[in-house]
Chain A
């Protein structure tokens, strides 16, 4: 009914192209996350869907309706798109109470007073804010404001819900519980939701599908599991939290499995995950620190075959696990092992060790020459009231 479809979207500011030939479809009832570092175009995409920005080219459809198409001079203003949106700053109107804010969408849709009252109290009860209905919004905490913003976006049962980094101003604990509430709200609404975030954990836990964006282009679209376990490119692997990205060369390929040798000649490492390339091709071996094994050469039990020798450069206690930085195969490899690992006890910094890539622990991805993506958990700078000193 109300799928959201973008086709060939292009948007630029001055001489910077923010979106280029951007196409995407979010099916009816789906929660799709746009994930990427800041400046990648995800918020612009969302604002184009909302009608708060005009794209220069391309089509946007909400359900059967064409809402924007510059080529055909179609542009439906935001108020006629039947959407609800939660803003990063919440954008609650300070001169209204909680009730006034939430009732507003119904008011402008000219619903009668009784129905307004009923619908607002119902949605406020759903987000647990019904006892605050007549408070001014300026007296609420961040989490409460967030709930009111959510209620306001949903109260008129819009076809599409848009979320612009709604949790980035909350602390980590609150963020996790609000994440669940947003997912519940989406499921109850039955509509389509598009959610913008730069937090990979948020995207993975919340969405039906994740769209990873970089520089205005889609890098990968997939279910959270696909994105988490099978990143398509080095950039996605990095952004989604693969600690180890090692340049390697395909040495052998058979039965869907591929063996690679690392730059130092160490290996082979076998995996059936990710891309398949002909022998001799340069690829990137992506592995999560948790899935690698580590041991010391002198410990009981032989070093397993295909283990890569190295030296432990540093050791960090990481709560139940120990994180080792190992210099192996001409690269820095991060390994997180249980406290009592294969070695039986913690390994010392400076000592020799071996690192093993179990079969299918690593994923082969294309090297897209990504410079390291910015840390996903970037600091969100909250607005400081700073006025122009003129």
Chain B
């Protein structure tokens, strides 16, 4: 998912294929235009917006550098910039250390409870970031939050003010750790076990082998994950919005939001300038990473079964268990408990008279059902479209031989440079500037379109790797077996892509439905999504209702996750009992020339 660990190499076309596809196909032209329009246009418009006196599409605008220079000469802006660096930097350092430790514990040691880490991380990843910000805002709410109350009862003081640097970094770490752990799990598992074995027979101990061999060999992956985490941290809106802003701590995303939404008249150029600052920061980081690592990735997969013995670290394993338990408590149990409890309270913080009244209030409120409908639409349609776009782009980059084949893929890469709310701003400028699209403004369709754009990078990362691993020879075998080009593509290629497509759809659907950054700028009150609804309820002081709304959403997400797990299990059973078709696919790696 990062620039370092993802190999974008493109298979070189065979002469025969090349001749056939050398000319630009209409499909490729369409895809190029589509990706330029969807992915590059908003970024261009972001820069454009910084030098205009009014939003695009609104009359009386003229060129001006005043907004730009005013923003750059404001000390508040640089303060926000520095705050962003501090927040993102410290979050990444802490969460990466934690994620590496967890990945190592899970893949290499016999630590008790290690098996719950991955499901836990998947759950945390699937829950929208807004959830953690909201629930910790509630947990630390003085003097009624659960944690606040507990600390008060135990120590007689309330040392914890969640609306602070401490709270912001802590809550960001909780979410970031899960995501980074999931990204690191693959490289940790894929690392050739013979690297470690070779080190052992060379005379190094297990611990030494880890620090001298495994960790350095994983360095590109770890660094890639860190950069990605840093970029996403720079764009993180929810946590600073709920936990930083009340304490007067502004970071770039909250400053952008304030310029755009919270001050009158909105400072469009200022918001755009701030966004550009963020983009510049990201570009520098990516350049730095490319310079440091090139496109190298040390992780090599050998396909050999890793029957390695797990490391016996003696009593230290209980440290791992403790870390897992504490992490689970802080990231899942406490926030969920607070939400469930909070949703049952008639007034937030009053622990008597628990009832389901909030749920009936929420369910009967006029906005609720439309919010759930919009969210469902977004999850299904945006997820599907993003995954389909991702497949199309990846196939084009890998199978076409035209010089333009990489263009759509590169356009998607551009989006990584505009994290979170920056993209929303660019999208607003982009859609307002196109007459036809302007009429869509403030409808759910524009939210949907924006979420497709916003989640395509994720979908693209999810499908590119698997598609790259489908050998061209599989299609060629179908062709030589007498299948037409269409049949080889649909019957073999698309069939093999299907599982990764479904996974990508699933992931993007969940990400899209929990996204706040895009609806917060693009949606209007009558087509808001569930996260936005909950955020607004929280802002209005209806904490209990916000909790109830969110509990409903999490319930649905959890149900979908369980359903997916069950389906996967059933499919595996069927595949195991029925045809060897899919396992056979993996035979080339399952049959190393090794004897037992």
CB distance from B54 to the nearest CB of A (A): 48
Q: Which listed residue (A79, A164, A378, A387) contacts B469, Cβ 8 A?
A: A387
Query: Chain A residues near B186 (CB, 8 Å)?
Result: 387-388
Contact of A378 among B189, B194, B593 (CB under 8 A): B593
Of A81, A89, A198, which contacts B302 at CB under 8 A? Answer: A89
Q: Are the CB atoms of B194 and A87 closer together than 8 Å?
A: yes
Q: Is the CB of B595 within 8 A of A41?
A: yes
Q: Is the pair A156, B595 in contact by a Cβ cutoff of 8 Å?
A: no
Q: Whole-angstrom distance between the alpha carbons of A164 and B201 in the complex?
A: 13
> Is A36 an interface residue when CB atoms closer than 8 A count as contact?
yes
6 contacts between A and B (CB under 8 A): A41-B595, A50-B201, A88-B594, A89-B302, A92-B198, A168-B593
**When the two chains form their complex, are residues B307 and A53 in contact, meaning their CB atoms are under 8 A apart?**
yes
The CB with the most chain B CB atoms within 10 A, among A44, A153, A165, A385, is that of A385
Contact of B593 among A92, A96, A381 (CB under 8 A): A381
The segment out of B535-543, B554-562, B584-592 that lies at the interface is: B584-592
User: Are A51 and B593 in contact, CB atoms less than 8 angstroms apart?
Assistant: no
B201, B588, B593: the one contacting A162 at CB < 8 Å is B201
* Chain B contacts for A387, CB-based, 8 A: 186, 190, 301, 465-466, 469
B202 partner, pick from A18, A44, A79, A389, beta carbons under 8 A? A79
Contact: A84 with B201, CB < 8 Å?
yes
Question: Are the CB atoms of A85 and B201 closer together than 8 Å?
Answer: yes
Give the nearest-CB partner of B589 in chain A.
A386
> Known: A383-B303, A389-B466. Is A108-B595 also a contact (CB below 8 A)?
no
Number of residues from B at the complex interface, CB < 8 A: 48
Q: How many residues of A contact B (CB 8 A)?
A: 61
Question: How distant is A383 from chain B, measured CB to nearest CB, in Å?
Answer: 4
Q: Are A40 and B595 in contact (CB under 8 A)?
A: yes
Across the two chains, which residue of chain A brings its CB closest to B593?
A380
Assembled-state Cα–Cα distance A379/B591 (Å): 10
Q: A58 within 8 Å of B by Cβ? A: no
Complex Cα gap A39–B307 (Å): 15
Whether a CB of chain A sits under 8 angstroms from the CB of B503 is yes
17 additional A-B residue pairs with CB within 8 Å, beyond A43-B594, A383-B589: A18-B596, A38-B595, A43-B596, A51-B201, A78-B201, A79-B205, A85-B198, A91-B194, A93-B216, A94-B217, A104-B202, A108-B202, A379-B593, A381-B592, A384-B589, A386-B589, A387-B469
Residue B357 interfacial (CB < 8 Å):
no
Within 8 A of A (CB), among B568-596: 586, 588-589, 591-596
Q: How many A-B residue pairs have CB under 8 A?
A: 158
Q: What is B's interface to A at a CB cutoff of 8 Å? A: 186, 189-190, 192, 194-195, 197-206, 208, 212-213, 216-217, 219, 296, 298, 300-304, 307-309, 465-466, 469, 471, 499-500, 503, 586, 588-589, 591-596
Most buried by B among A36, A43, A85, A94: A94
Interface centre among B189, B198, B298, B307, by most A CB within 10 Å? Answer: B198
A54 to B190 Cα, complex, angstroms:
23
Residues of chain A whose beta carbon lies under 8 Å from any beta carbon of chain B = 13, 16, 18, 36-44, 50-54, 77-85, 87-89, 91-96, 104-105, 108-109, 138, 152-153, 156, 162, 164-165, 168, 196, 198, 378-381, 383-390
B213 adjacent to A93 (CB under 8 Å): yes
Separation of A138 and B220 alpha carbons in the complex (Å): 15
Give the Cβ gap from B454 to chain A, nearest Cβ, in Å: 23
- B192: chain A residues within 8 A (beta carbon): 89, 91
A87 vs B195: C-alpha distance in the bound complex, in angstroms?
A: 9
Cβ contact within 8 Å between B469 and A385: yes
